[in-house]
Amino acid sequence: MPSFSHFLTTLLNTKDVFIEAMLLTLQLTVVSILIGIVIGLVLALMKLSNFKVLGLISDAYIYFVRGTPLIVQIFILYFGLSGLFLIPDFWAASLALAFHNGAYIAEIFRGTIQSVDKGQMEAGRSLGMSRSLTMRRIILPQAFRRALPPLGNQFIIGLKDSSLAAFISMNELFNVATTLGSNNFDEMTYLLIVAIYYLILVGIMTIVLKVAEKKMAISDR
């Protein structure tokens, strides 16, 4: 274990490179979660639709994501996309992470949509609205509010999962920490430092989520 003085000195001396890596980690997470929300919503609606084929496609997607390691999915999508298209590494990594997050977000949306009273769909239809219009104007707004806490948890999970982008040479937090640790033969110091940066990001996100949940609760009154 490094001494406290050595740890503190290294922490201060490397703050610039770690802050840059932290911003990249945050960008990867935000972009992948936003795309994952779109994927998840589409999958959830497919699963809840009256067309069995769409439900089977959604189930197969979710089963594949749940049944295979994230690192395998990242490699398949990263090398697959890079082999087919001239796509920047950042977007290849973001899409790979979004592919993974989308399956779990789909289950979040499915649960929150089903938690809305079925009578509200019937009420919307009785007012002359179509099923899709009722879903868009009445059901989904309530489902999104109820999905906020689990989506926040998924964001935090996605933040930590982004560390696997290090294996495709993205200079995010974990990659920077392991590279500096290997170059300086001081792996433990840099691993402790990167743990602090992850804790900072998770702490900030937790505060933001609590504020958002309180505002949502107030708006529901």
Tell me the pLDDT tens digit for each residue of 179-200.
999 998 889 999 999 999 999 9
Cβ atoms 28, 183 nearer than 8 A:
no
Domains identified in the chain and CATH numbers: 4-219 (1.10.3720.10)
Confidence at residue 217, expressed as pLDDT on a 0 to 100 scale: 67
Does the pTM exceed 0.75? yes
DSSP 8-state class, residue 170? -
Is pLDDT of 38 > 90?
Answer: yes
Cβ atoms 45, 110 nearer than 8 A:
no
Q: Which residue has the tokens 């960008």?
A: 27
Confidence at residue 41, expressed as pLDDT on a 0 to 100 scale: 94
Top pLDDT among 216 and 42 is at: 42
Is pLDDT of 8 > 60?
Answer: yes
Q: Which long-range contacts (CB under 8 A, 24 or more apart) does 203-207 make?
A: 205/152, 205/155, 205/156, 205/159, 206/152, 206/156
The mean of the pLDDT values for the chain is: 88
Residue closest to 171 by CA, chosen among 71, 22, 33 = 22
